[in-house]
Amino acid sequence: MNPKQLFNAIKPAMVILFTLPTAPAGTHPGADDVTIEVVSDHGKILPQYPASRERRSAAHRRYIEARRHERYGIRVRNRTNRRIGLVIAVDGRNIISGDESHLKPDERMYILGAYEQAVYKGWRTDQDRIHKFYFTDVEDSYADAWGDRSAMGVIAVATYRERQRPVLKHKFSEGRPRSRDETTSRAKRYPGAAPQPGTGLGEEEWSPAYLVHFEPDRGQVAKYFIKYEWRQALYEKGVVACGLPKNRFWPESDHGGYAPHPPRREG
C-alpha cells in the first residue's frame, strides 16, 4: 500500500494528541523554554550548525547533516512549568495528519507536559501506530508522494502555550481536515533541481497516543526550523569545513627535521 492509499484509509482523528513522555528534562538558568534536537535511531544527537544569515525574528534556524537511510526522531524538551502544544511538520507536512502544514494553532498537535520531553519518531498513521522517519532521496519522500516539494528538507516545530482560562470538560477542538484533492491539485515539481534529501515513510512501530483537551494561546508561539542537507550541500553552503584530512604519510611541508624559519612579519 503506497502512502496515499494508506492515509486515505485512515479516518480523521482529533486535533490534540498526547504521547507518553520520556524521562523529565533537566533545567538550568538561562536555558531556552524549549529545545529541539534531532536524534538518530540509536540515540545519537545530530550536531546542529547555525544558519549563516540569522534573521531577527522569533524563529530559530539551524542546519544538520542527513545521512541516507538513517532513521531519526525529533526530541523536544519542555523546560517550562506549563503544558505546551507542538505543531510539527517534516518537509512541510504535519506529522500527525499528513496535511500541508503552515504551523497554525488549528492544526493537529502533540501536547507536552511541564518539564517533560518526548521523541517523535515518525508519521502517525493511526492512534496507536507510526511509520518511522528516515532520510532518503526526494523522489522516495512522503511529501513528494503528494506532489509537494514546497518545504523539502525542513523539520519545523511551532510551540504554543496553553490558553489560561476555564474550559468546558469533555470538549475537544477539531480542525478542518484538508482534502487530499486540495493538496494534490497544488503539486509542485521542480525538474532539474540539485539533489536534496527528504523524509520517507518507514517501517511501522507501535506508538499509542491519547486524546486530551488543550486550547492554544494564539499569541504565544515560537518557531524552530532545522534544515537537513547531504554533506556535500553543507560543504557548498559553507556550513561545515570541507578541507580534506591531512595525510600523515605525505606531509605538506618537510623541513628535514630542523627548525623552520619563522613567518615574515609585516611592517
pLDDT tens readout for residues 38-89: 999 888 999 999 886 555 555 789 999 999 999 999 999 999 999 999 999 9
| Residue 192: pLDDT over 70 | no
Q: Which residue has the cell 500500500?
A: 1
Stretch 145-155: mean pLDDT, rounded? 94
- Bridge partners (DSSP) of residue 90 are 93, 155
- Is residue 142 predicted with pLDDT exceeding 90? yes
- The string of DSSP codes covering 171-231 is ------PPPHHHHHTT----TTPPP-EEEEEEEEEE--EE-----EEEEEEEEEEEEEE-H
Predicted confidence (pLDDT) at residue 7 exceeds the cutoff of 60:
no
CA atoms 63, 67, 69, 75: torsion sign? negative
**Are the beta carbons of 131 and 123 closer than 8 angstroms?**
yes
On the question of pLDDT at 230 being above 90, the answer is: yes
Q: Which of 91, 74, 5 is nearest to 37 (CA)?
A: 74
Q: What is the mean pLDDT of residues 142-165?
A: 92
Per the model's pLDDT, the better-predicted residue between 31 and 75 turns out to be 75
Position 165 scores a pLDDT of 66
CA distance 90 to 142: 9
Q: How confident is the model at residue 108 (pLDDT cuts 50, 70, 90)?
A: very high
Strand pairing class (93-94; 59-65): unpaired
Taking the CB of residue 17, how many other CB atoms lie within 10 A of it?
20
Q: What distance in Å separates the CA atoms of residue 243 and residue 172, rounded to the nearest whole number?
A: 54
CA–CA dist 85, 114 (Å, integer): 11
Question: What pLDDT shows up at residue 14?
Answer: 34
C-alpha–C-alpha distance, residues 230 and 172, integer Å: 41
Average confidence (pLDDT) over 105-129: 95
pLDDT digits (tens, 9 = 90+) for 167-184: 444 433 333 334 444 333
